[in-house]
Amino acid sequence: MEKILGLINLHNSSALDTLTSRRPLASTGFLGRYAFIDIALSNLINSGISEIGIMIKDKPRSLFRHLGFGGNQWSQNYKTGQMVLMYNEIHSKNSMYNHDINNMIENIWFIKNSLSEYVVITPVHIIDRLNYQDVVKDHISKNADITVVYAKVENAKDNYIGTSYLKLDKNNRIIRISENKGSENERNISLETIVMNRKTLLEIIDKSSKISSFFSMKDILQYLCGTLYINAYEYKGYVRFIDSVQSYLSVSLELLEPKNFQELFSSDWPVYTRTYDTPPAKYYESTKVSKSFIANGSMIKGTIKNSVIGRDVIVEKGAIIENSIVLSHVRISNDTHLNYVVVDKEAEILTIKNLIGSKQDPLIVKQEDVI
């Protein structure tokens, strides 16, 4: 097992409408009890990586709260492991300068002081179950300068628009990185997970800032495609992109099928998260719940179908929730009907009795709204 420095890159996450107006995607609730960053963090921990930096783009407050001080929940041993929050305060308000390369420059001490030989940089908006040791092994065996993880897809005409795809030679070396505009169905879509030697990373950071202060990791990789040996590692497991409210809802609802959630979650690759010590969920008389995840602390008196219910949610009698995501501490009053709705934390739905969205156009109830 190699000693690897793990960096979680929050710079390329998309906005999810009002869900991310006050928080990054990383701390947005997922599947009732997680924050998206838990998936990436757990992949790192399960890969034996305990030296972790989180590259924060903006709105860090809820992330600080979720991670706690030093993030003990995610360390095997919090003396030997460490979790560092990397924040680029100087450039935080300037979108041109606030990118991952500049974040690393601002926090270069963390990368310089590390004793790890390899670095993995991984995003938070792509859900997968990657063992980074496998990627590093492949990287070492190819003697590559950089290794990028990708997945072969067959539906790139209508999906993954705007993401990067890779043109590979027969040895899986990357010839070119381009943007997917939907011209072909079969594509090698980049999962934006990058492995390289730590020394190489330091060189690239240095080089990048000299070429352009606006260059992000994505830009410098495209630029260096011809000159450096960039290897591609194929990931064959479950993977989904969360880049819009539609995909947030559709991925969550898709995971309501047992064969899907069993692909992403298993006891040999656990997902860690912090606990809120909530009691078991309580179901009252004549509740009808089907094909749903219900988080602890919730008190259910109504009907819930094909939905994800977060912690401490109250669903009153006669309420019907379908195809929806309800985040924590929400109250849905009597006889309210929700269909294709995302209800943000602590909202109360009291007097509006019908909230009907659609798959393409889900409704969002904002955090703490009382309607």
Partner 1 sequence: MKKEIIAMLLAGGKGTRLLSLTKKTAKPAVFFGGKYRIIDFPLSNCTNSGIDIVGVLTQYESIQLNDYIGTGSKWGYDGNRSKTVILPPRQKEEGSSWYNGTADAIYHNLDFIEEYKPQYVLILSGDHIYKMDYAKMLDYHKKLGADCTIAVINVLLSEANRFGIMNCDEDMKITSFEEKPEKPQSTLASMGIYIFSYDKLKKYLEEDGKILRSEHDFGKHIIPKMLDNKEKMYAYLFEGYWKDVGTIESLWQANMDLLKDNDLDIFNRQGNWKIYSEDTFSLPQYIGVNASVENSLINQGTIVYGKVKDSVVFGNSIIEEGAEVLESVIFPGCTIKKGSKIYKTIVESETTIKENSVINLDGKQIILINS
Q: How far is the CB of 74 from partner 1 (least distance, A)?
A: 11
- Backbone region of residue 31 per phi and psi (left: phi > 0; alpha: psi in -120 to 50; beta: other values): left
Q: Is 280 in the site for partner 1 (CB under 8 A)?
A: yes
Q: How far is the CB of 127 from partner 1 (least distance, A)?
A: 14
> Taking contact as CB under 8 A, which single stretch among the options 50-58, 105-113, 119-127, 274-282 is the one that binds partner 1?
274-282
Q: Which is nearer to partner 1, 168 or 299 (CB)?
A: 299
* Separation between Cα atoms, residue 196 and residue 221, nearest integer Å: 12
Rounded Cα distance, 243 and 262, in Å: 23
Range 300-319, binding partner 1 (CB under 8 A): 304, 309
Candidate list 60, 81, 297, 362; residue touching partner 1; CB under 8 A: 297
Query: What are the DSSP calls for 111-153, one per residue?
Result: HHH---SEEEEEESSEEE---HHHHHHHHHHHT-SEEEEEEEE
Interface pick for partner 1 out of 78, 110, 229, 272 (rule CB under 8 A)? 272
| Identified binder of partner 1 from the candidate list 90, 291, 356, 370, rule CB under 8 A | 291
Residue nearer to partner 1 on the CB measure, 107 or 298: 298
Distance (Å) of CA 190 to CA 40, 46, 109: 16, 22, 29
**Closer residue to partner 1, CB minimum distance, 218 or 311:** 311
Return the bridge partners of 370, or none: 348
Taking contact as CB under 8 A, which single stretch among the options 4-12, 80-88, 288-296, 328-336 is the one that binds partner 1?
A: 288-296
Distance, in Å, from the CA atom of 303 to the CA atom of 336, rounded to the nearest integer, reads 10
Interface with partner 1 includes 289 (CB under 8 A)? yes
* H/E segment holding residue 85: strand 82-87
> Which lies closer to partner 1 via its Cβ, residue 85 or residue 289?
289
Minimum CB separation of residue 297 from partner 1 in Å reads 7
* Piece of 115-123, 194-202, 279-287, 339-347 that binds partner 1 (CB under 8 A): 279-287
Least distance in angstroms from the C-beta of 305 to partner 1: 9
**Which CB sits closer to partner 1, 229 or 293?**
293
Among 283, 317, 318, 369, binds partner 1 (CB under 8 A): 283
Among 158, 169, 268, 285, which residue interacts with partner 1 (rule: CB under 8 A)? Answer: 285
- Judged by CB, which is closer to partner 1: 214, or 284? 284
Q: How far apart are CA 201 and CA 145, in angstroms?
A: 9
33 binds partner 1 (CB under 8 A): yes
Tell me the C-alpha distance between 210 and 53, whole Å.
Answer: 24
User: Backbone phi, then psi, for 79, in 5-degree steps?
Assistant: -90, -40
Among the residue ranges 93-101, 173-181, 245-253, 273-281, the one whose residues contact partner 1 (CB under 8 A): 273-281
CB of 220 to partner 1, least distance (A): 37
β-bridge partners, 289: 304
Residue of 40, 49, 232, 281 interacting with partner 1 (CB under 8 A) = 281
Q: Is 324 in the site for partner 1 (CB under 8 A)?
A: no
| Piece of the chain touching partner 1 by CB under 8 A; list 10-18, 148-156, 189-197, 283-291 | 283-291
x-or-dash string of contact with partner 1, 232-261, rule CB under 8 A? --------------------------x--x
Is-contact 122 207, C-beta < 8 A?
no
Angle at 14 between CA 10 and CA 18, to 5 degrees: 110
Provide the pairing of β-strand 239-241 with 126-128.
antiparallel
Return the closest-CA partner of residue 148 out of 220, 226, 218, 232.
232
Report how far apart the first and last C-alpha atoms of the chain are (Å, whole number): 53
107, 10 contact by CB (below 8 A): no
- Classify residue 293 as exposed, middle or buried by CB count within 10 Å of its CB (0-12, 13-18, 19+): middle
Tell me the C-alpha distance between 255 and 95, whole Å. Answer: 34
Interface residue list for partner 1 (CB under 8 A)? 31-33, 258, 261, 265, 270-273, 275, 277, 279-297, 299, 304, 309
